[in-house]
Structure 1
Amino acid sequence: MSKRKVRDSHLPVGECVSQVQRILRERFCHQRLPDRLEGLEAQHKHLFELLKRTAVHGESNSVLIVGPRGAGKSALLGCVLRELLQETEAQRNLLEVRLNGLLQTDDRIALKEITRQLHLENVVGDKVFGSFAENLAFLLEALKKGDRSSSRPVLFVLDEFDLFAHHKNQTLLYNLLDVSQSAQAPVAVVGLTCRLDVLELLEKRVKSRFSHRQIHLLSSLTFPQYLQRVRAQLRLPDDFPDARFAQDWNAGVESLCGDKSVEEVLQRHFNSNRDVRSLHALLMPCLSRVSASQPNIRPADVLDAGRLCLADAKANVLHGLSILELCLIIAMKHLNDVYEGEPFNLQMVHNEFKKFLQRKSNSMYNFEQPVVMKAFEHLQQLELIRPVDGSASRTQREYQLMRLMLDHSQVMEALQKYPQCPTDINQWAMSAFA
């Protein structure tokens, strides 16, 4: 009876909104693993059997999980490990070491991280090792409880696997795969990467020790499924304290996803990025606008969040430029139009700018050559222009060939939003001929 009373109780709107904020923020930020991965059953079964043979039977393996960002590589591995660790024997035996190519940028840092995660700092102490292989062999030997059958299996997860291929001599990869192949200790090496050509990056000696097992993930998500995912991310659970508020909220979510303008925003977002994390980045600004006075997400909130997520970073940089720097960008745009994207130099840009000044007879924009050069260098620092590859560094700065890293539409869009842009500069930018 008491549970029913709690279920039927009506909380103040402010408290309901706080609960909504807490539940959805936790859902968006914590990236919890799904109960099951749809469409990846075969890959799940393959990886589970592979890791089970290591965790339970002490068999060494190596495998690569390959797929685009957001395809579910980490989620697949997480779901397999969650299921595997529910088995008593695997939970008691398996040790995990997680490395990331973005963090462990060389083999020395990687070895230190392996030692830390295996809690072997005291065992290593101040020992001096002749090579990386000796150090790794010592770490694995320290894990043994007796014979090989009672050695604890170790799972090495290498995220951003392709970045480890850029380490000097690929020492880490060679030694991990060598241990795996030679069965010195029960070891499983799982690499996660976005690069389809990752095997081409490996040296011959490393490639020969890899099992060449690959699990490919391809995103087969359709837009109706994507819309369903949006609904699922925004819906409140059945055990929400205020049943009536949850019912109204969920009805509002259905209405929101059925709105044509919202559907267009979601379609654009779907076309550019199907990653769940990207979807959370779109929904979070919408959630932040929910309040006691506005207890639902409105279509206008989604439109604003869509504009924020799809904002062009380079076009935003243009809004902070000085008038001179903006004029140089317009001159470069005209040079690109006339010469069909051929590289230019500072002298050409300055001459184009002078033509504009002569036509307008406006001394207001008449700058000295050193000032123009300083503005040009600032544009290069902002990476709005860059030197042509292979251009000689000994060439005078005025004649060094450059390329504009903006297209026509980006320049025009930035000009429309530029605060108090002079009319004559706007007209110059829109004119077909410089």
Structure 2
Amino acid sequence: MSKRRCKEPQVPVGASVDEELQVLRERLCREALPELPEGLEAQHKHLLELLRRTALHGESNSLLIVGPRGTGKTMLIKSVLKELLEEDLDQTLMQVHLNGLLQTDDKIALKEITRQLHLENVVGDKVFGSFAENLAFLLEALKKGDRSSSRPVLFLLDEFDLFVHHKNQTLLYNLFDVSQSAQAPVAVVGLTCRLDVLELLEKRVKSRFSHRQIHLFSGATFSDYVERAQRQLWLPATFPDQRFTREWNSSVKALCKDKSVVDVLQRHFNSSKDFRSLHMLLMLCLSRVSVDKPSIKAADVLEASRGLFSDSKANMLHGLSILELCLIISMKHLNHLYHGEPFNLQMVHNEFKKFLQRKSSSLYHFEQPVVLKAFEHLQQLELIRPLDGSGAHTQREFQLMRLLLDTSQIMEALQKYPQCPTDIKQWAMSAFG
């Protein structure tokens, strides 16, 4: 008798693809914390001890985490907060997360602090004389039990250098002042890419800062970057369909060795070592996976990269009218003729009229007000800009301008422009020849 082989259970391909996409999208979108890279153990221990002392003993502190983008500043603080969570200290330590890109002035920041501390009802319609009074009231409201002790608060300031530009640096002054004077247990942690950020602080603010700093430097190599890409796309051994897992992981391994894919990853690595940009690239690749095409191809990676690196100004040109496109070409002609000297509307219009008289049979002649409107639209789109100091009182037709596009951007737009007349393309080629 022949022995029967144990067959693996057959799972429909469609179900496997759906499950696989769900697993990988969750991994990329939720950005699960990776293992702490080698070399950051000392920084992790330092930050953990500082926040632990705030949470357990009410010890106030201030600290800056400084380093280029992609070096792991956010990952470091998240890993420390995760460890505090495992120690159940997150219940003691309240957190306020502020971002300099979002909280653009102190009034917005104060509202966000109130919201995150859940003190909207306590504040109500109260009127405060100053920012300091308002912040002091919020911290006072966090006192618990017999009002003899306050709940410690961690203020986490992402894009810290942008808070420096707030009027009088009031937010930073008050936060550092509270942390130094021990009015309430507060830890202030700033994250920034600027190495010279301390030089931007006012003297009174700097004097209240503890001058503790943690510096992070990028130690990631290109091989680490490729390995991370492969690891992010790798299906775990626990995935239900074992056959699909083997086929998928095998295709991912081959993909990461493909020369064209390696070239794309090298370009991204040279541009930014930030793993978040890598995750965005991989998400765009995953969006092209389907039941009919259950794997990522090299062409998908190239297309996703093209989308991420697309030139916004070149894309903007695709939506211009024929008249506006002709004005851009006229400007390029003038740049070539006068070796990059600035131009005005009158010069551009004259150049355009020469083209109409010489070559074009596909365009009507446009009246001056229509041309002026098209010219103003190009300025609104920031494709051209007035020359600095050219004079706000100068008549619009004679105000000197500069073109903010290069030859490659215009040529790319012409190639993709829908139903662009041939004589305009030929005119453009003569300008860029």
Percent identical across equivalent pairs? Answer: 75
The equivalent residue for 2:298 is: 299
Counterparts in 2 of 1:191-210, with a 5 A limit?
191-210=190-209
The equivalent residue for 2:4 is: none
* Separation of aligned partners in 1, 2:66 and 2:336: 41
Mean Cα deviation higher: 419-428 or 120-129 = 120-129
Cα distance per residue 1:330-373 (max 9 Å; x no partner): 12122233334332221222222233234326483532221111
The equivalent residue for 1:87 is: 87
2:67–2:195 Cα contact (<8 Å) kept: yes
* Separation of aligned partners in 2, 1:122 and 1:416: 59
Q: Helix, strand or coil for the counterpart of 2:191?
A: strand
Counterparts in 2 of 1:129-148, with a 5 A limit?
129-145=128-144
The equivalent residue for 1:265 is: 264
* Separation of aligned partners in 2, 1:347 and 1:408: 22
* Separation of aligned partners in 2, 1:173 and 1:258: 49
Mean Cα deviation higher: 299-308 or 142-151 = 142-151
Matched, 1:312 2:311: yes
Cα distance per residue 1:134-189 (max 9 Å; x no partner): 22112222223479994321100112222222222221111111111112222111
The equivalent residue for 2:239 is: 240
Q: Helix, strand or coil for the counterpart of 1:156?
A: strand
* Separation of aligned partners in 2, 1:93 and 1:161: 25
Residue 374 of structure 1 and its aligned partner are, at CA, apart by 1.1
* Separation of aligned partners in 2, 1:18 and 1:306: 24
Structure that is richer in helix per residue? 1
Residue 67 of structure 1 and its aligned partner are, at CA, apart by 2.7
C-alpha distance 270-53 of structure 1, shift in aligned 2 (>3 A): same
* Separation of aligned partners in 1, 2:378 and 2:62: 47
1:155–1:190 Cα contact (<8 Å) kept: yes
Q: How large is the RMSD of aligned CA atoms in angstroms?
A: 2.3
* Separation of aligned partners in 1, 2:298 and 2:208: 55
The equivalent residue for 2:423 is: 424
* Separation of aligned partners in 1, 2:432 and 2:232: 51
Residue 433 of structure 1 and its aligned partner are, at CA, apart by 7.5
* Separation of aligned partners in 2, 1:340 and 1:67: 42
Q: What amino acid is aligned across from residue 288 of structure 2 in structure 1?
A: R
Tell me the TM-score normalized by structure 2. 0.91
* Separation of aligned partners in 2, 1:267 and 1:361: 45
* Separation of aligned partners in 2, 1:313 and 1:362: 31
* Separation of aligned partners in 1, 2:259 and 2:271: 19
Matched, 1:96 2:90: no
Q: What amino acid is aligned across from residue 349 of structure 1 in structure 2?
A: V
Number of residue pairs matched by the alignment = 427
Counterparts in 2 of 1:204-223, with a 5 A limit?
204-223=203-222
C-alpha distance 320-130 of structure 1, shift in aligned 2 (>3 A): closer
Residue 227 of structure 1 and its aligned partner are, at CA, apart by 0.8
Residue 250 of structure 1 and its aligned partner are, at CA, apart by 0.3
Q: What amino acid is aligned across from residue 83 of structure 2 in structure 1?
A: E
Tell me the TM-score normalized by structure 1. 0.91
The equivalent residue for 2:68 is: 68
* Separation of aligned partners in 1, 2:277 and 2:219: 17
* Separation of aligned partners in 2, 1:24 and 1:159: 27
Residue 299 of structure 1 and its aligned partner are, at CA, apart by 1.4
Q: Helix, strand or coil for the counterpart of 1:56?
A: helix
The equivalent residue for 1:168 is: 167
The equivalent residue for 1:4 is: none
C-alpha distance 392-250 of structure 1, shift in aligned 2 (>3 A): same
Q: Helix, strand or coil for the counterpart of 1:237?
A: coil
Mean Cα deviation higher: 156-165 or 211-220 = 211-220
Residue 34 of structure 1 and its aligned partner are, at CA, apart by 1.8
1:67–1:73 Cα contact (<8 Å) kept: yes
The equivalent residue for 1:409 is: 408
The answer for unaligned runs of 5 or more in structure 1 is 1-6
* Separation of aligned partners in 2, 1:178 and 1:306: 47
Q: What amino acid is aligned across from residue 185 of structure 1 in structure 2?
A: A
